[in-house]
Structure 1
Amino acid sequence: MNRRLLPLLALLVAGLLGGLLLYLYLNARPYQETIDHGPSPQARANPYLAAEMFLRQRGLQIHHANGLEVLPTLKPEQHSLLLLGERSNMTPQQVEQLLDWARAGGRLLFVAEALWNKEAGRSGDLLLDRLHLRQFLSKDLKAPPPDAGKEPYPKLTKLYLEDEDAPAYIGFDTDFHLEDPDNLAQSWANSARATHMMQLSYGKGSVTVLTDAEIWKTPLIAKYDNAWLLWYLSADSDVTLLFDTDHDSLWSLLLKYFPQALVALAALLGLWLWHVGVRHGPMQAPTPKARRQLREHLQASAHFLLRRTGQQGLLHALRQDILRRAQHRHPGFERLTAAEQGQVLARLTRQPDSVISQALAPQPTQRLSSADFSRLVTHLQTLRNAL
């Protein structure tokens, strides 16, 4: 390349780079973008994580438990116990322990989880039945009063407080309704046609019943006055939230990540059990081949035919065989009289008349003895073999 062209080429490249930088300077604009990666693993494992964080921000001590085993360690005074999990396996003894805890000054809150059964006279929710409260479907209630349609927010639950002009609005599920047939509740919260929260004084403490606790899960806790209600029910107390958190078991994790190892382990276990298995008694030696003789097969066949056809069948077969052979040796044998047939057989077989008469005699109807049957078969076989 000519050395005089190198400066020109360098100036051309510098010009292109300068133009590109000027274009980027005039047209490029900085911006921010937020990428949503979804909830954190902690939030997926704990549906009430936002509720716990909210209460901690209000200065409350928050604890989490998976079962009622923690109840003996909770002091009732200035303590709120929120039963937010499934309670179908609760025993009557545990129900009494909870109510004794509330009677001693604790604040107990739980979610009604069964509908009232009129025929059975109970709902099956031991805690709800023990407090004489009932839960129904809102659609099964009577029609709402005419002024219900004038409510500004008919699907929201209103909670009125003393010295407050406006109610608090909570987003309960309006499909369920609580009923207090004995008028035990001191306060409650209603939507346009149903009751979704009741609070009862119980000894030195209190019991609060809700139709659902979904209002305190993410993201519903941020709507309406849902978070405020949680703070209002647990203010000035330590709080224990009792619900089950779903964790993968060791078996499910092994099945998910190491299925081949589980198959190999099962195969090894099966081989080990087969190896150490104990036999019940000695092994039976195979039958010697010397016992498998033709005579045994013939005897077995004869016994089989005797059982299937009886004596008369065997005797009839032998007589028919004799008649066929006699007809072959003496054409027209079948047309002879019995006496003539006896004479022909005597001449052909050279057997005495006694043998021939027994062979040609009519078959007996009664069963023969073993000796008589053997003797008759012998005579018949002698005639057949002579023909």
Structure 2
Amino acid sequence: MSQRKGTIAAALIAVSVVALSVYLYLKVTPYQTVIDHGPSPEARANPYLAAELFLRKHGLSVEHANDLDILPSLDPRRRSLLLLGDHNNMTPRQIDQVMNWTRAGGRLLFVAESLWNKKLGHSNDLLLDRVQLHQSLSKDLKEPPPNVGDDPFPLLTKLYLENEDAPAYAGFNTAFHLEDPKNLAQAWANSARATHMMQLNYGRGSITVVTDADLWKTPAIGQFDNAWLLWYLTADTRVTLIFNADHDNLPTLLLRNFPQALVALLALISLGFWHVGVRQGPLQEPAPKARRQLQEHLRASADFLLRRNGQAGLLQALQQDILRRVRRRHPGFEQLGVAEQWLVLARLTGQPTRAISQAMSPRPKQRLSSVEFSRQVAHLQSLRNAL
């Protein structure tokens, strides 16, 4: 009987599962969705990855490096060197190497990194100063160029080419402006208010200076004619990009990626110093009692009284001791006037009255010099010894 009930229960469960499956199959509607996981690790590590892929797609050989150590191995002929990273740390020797490489036939493109300082007569960008171009803020320009109001795209940089009816448009940062005080540039590109790209010949090579390179980063390179402009500047050459010339040092990387671990390490080091610095016992053994002499005790007592009562207290104690001795030798001394007391002291000690008055008069509150204090103490002691 119990086996029959178990079979019926299993059959009911199986029928329920089948019915539920059929119901869900009829009610559930399948659909597809795309989950964006963001850029790949390669794209996050290389902001110019899209630019590299675009140039390779158009038949150019592209490589990138982290510093200028590869420069001696680069043949300047039909080669473009793009300094897209921070180059403020370049040394004068590296500047000479880059300029000599360009003079030999290379194409150099770099970003102006610093503003021109009129008072100092230079900027903090050695490479920009070497090509004798200046960078300033667009807002500091005295007057806007003519026909600014007629420009339909005032924030875009326009590059005009021969045999072309319309210009190419690029999305440079319009906050900066390039100036050519020596009239060395052979070509340039402007927005409605400022200049953002200049080209000049240098020996057998050429130099292109731009105000920024963000227009060639992902995703800005896909806007306007940004990608085309990069291809135009590097056409028919092999391209080397240097965009990470200034590496983050180890402390910066640790602070960025492991701030909690650094805090814990600093706390551990602090606790270690605190533990080591706590004194566990006396620094030196106390002096044995056998070496202590009466002179040391007297000096220590005198130093203690001087710190506690000051000079006036010590002088007053000597004066009181002198008065006690006089009272024993001259009954009724305390009933005499001050002048008569000094006469008695002069007779008993053999000192002149003037010296007695100087020694026994109350001392002013201001601190005496060491010499004067010693002299006063010696005088009072001589009076006390005479009694």
8 Å contact 2:81–2:240 — kept in the other structure?
yes
What whole-Å deviation, never above 9, does each CA across 1:205-255 have from its counterpart, x for those lacking one? 111110100011111112111111111111221111112275673895499
**1:65–1:2 CA distance, 2 compared to 1 (3 A):** closer
Matched, 1:41 2:41: yes
In the other structure, the counterpart of 2:221 is 221
**How does the TM-score come out when normalised to structure 2?**
0.74
Q: State how far apart, in whole Å, the 2-side matches of 1:41 and 1:222 are.
A: 20
Larger Rg: 1
8 Å contact 1:355–1:379 — kept in the other structure?
no
> Which is worse superposed, 357-366 or 149-158?
357-366
Q: CA shift at 1:182, angstroms? A: 2.8
**1:61–1:312 CA distance, 2 compared to 1 (3 A):** closer
**1:129–1:356 CA distance, 2 compared to 1 (3 A):** closer
In the other structure, the counterpart of 2:323 is 320
Within a 5 Å distance, the mapping from 1:192-203 to structure 2 comes to 192-203=192-203
Matched, 1:249 2:250: yes
**1:201–1:308 CA distance, 2 compared to 1 (3 A):** same
In the other structure, the counterpart of 1:279 is none
What whole-Å deviation, never above 9, does each CA across 1:9-56 have from its counterpart, x for those lacking one? 566545543443333333322222222222222222222222222222
Q: State how far apart, in whole Å, the 2-side matches of 1:127 and 1:294 are.
A: 80
In the other structure, the counterpart of 1:358 is 349
Q: CA shift at 1:138, angstroms? A: 1.4
**1:376–1:55 CA distance, 2 compared to 1 (3 A):** same
Helix, strand or coil at the partner of 1:184: coil
Q: CA shift at 1:204, angstroms? A: 1.3
**1:334–1:203 CA distance, 2 compared to 1 (3 A):** closer
Helix, strand or coil at the partner of 1:364: helix
Q: State how far apart, in whole Å, the 1-side matches of 2:313 and 2:230 are.
A: 95
CA RMSD of aligned residues (A): 4.5
Q: State how far apart, in whole Å, the 2-side matches of 1:148 and 1:82 are.
A: 32
8 Å contact 2:133–2:180 — kept in the other structure?
yes
Letter in 2 for 1:316: Q
**1:252–1:369 CA distance, 2 compared to 1 (3 A):** closer
In the other structure, the counterpart of 2:173 is 173
Matched, 1:82 2:82: yes
**1:236–1:294 CA distance, 2 compared to 1 (3 A):** same
**1:270–1:62 CA distance, 2 compared to 1 (3 A):** farther
Q: State how far apart, in whole Å, the 1-side matches of 2:101 and 2:200 are.
A: 14
Q: State how far apart, in whole Å, the 2-side matches of 1:133 and 1:231 are.
A: 24
8 Å contact 1:312–1:363 — kept in the other structure?
no
8 Å contact 1:319–1:359 — kept in the other structure?
no
Q: How many residues align?
A: 356
Q: Percent identity?
A: 55
> Which is worse superposed, 99-108 or 27-36?
27-36
Matched, 1:134 2:134: yes
Within a 5 Å distance, the mapping from 1:166-315 to structure 2 comes to 166-244=166-244, 246=247, 249=250, 252-253=253-254, 256=258, 286-292=286-292, 296-298=296-298, 301=301, 308=311
The unaligned stretches of length 5 or more in structure 1 are 273-282, 346-353, 381-387
**1:3–1:69 CA distance, 2 compared to 1 (3 A):** closer
Helix, strand or coil at the partner of 1:196: strand
What whole-Å deviation, never above 9, does each CA across 1:325-371 have from its counterpart, x for those lacking one? 689xx7x6644799x99xxx9xxxxxxxx998338985735899999
Q: State how far apart, in whole Å, the 2-side matches of 1:227 and 1:263 are.
A: 50
> Which is worse superposed, 165-174 or 313-322?
313-322
8 Å contact 2:322–2:383 — kept in the other structure?
no
> Which is worse superposed, 70-79 or 88-97?
88-97
In the other structure, the counterpart of 1:149 is 149
**1:40–1:14 CA distance, 2 compared to 1 (3 A):** same
Q: State how far apart, in whole Å, the 2-side matches of 1:94 and 1:10 are.
A: 84
**1:69–1:357 CA distance, 2 compared to 1 (3 A):** same
Q: CA shift at 1:94, angstroms? A: 2.6
In the other structure, the counterpart of 2:371 is none
In the other structure, the counterpart of 2:279 is none
Q: CA shift at 1:284, angstroms? A: 7.6
In the other structure, the counterpart of 1:164 is 164
8 Å contact 1:112–1:209 — kept in the other structure?
yes
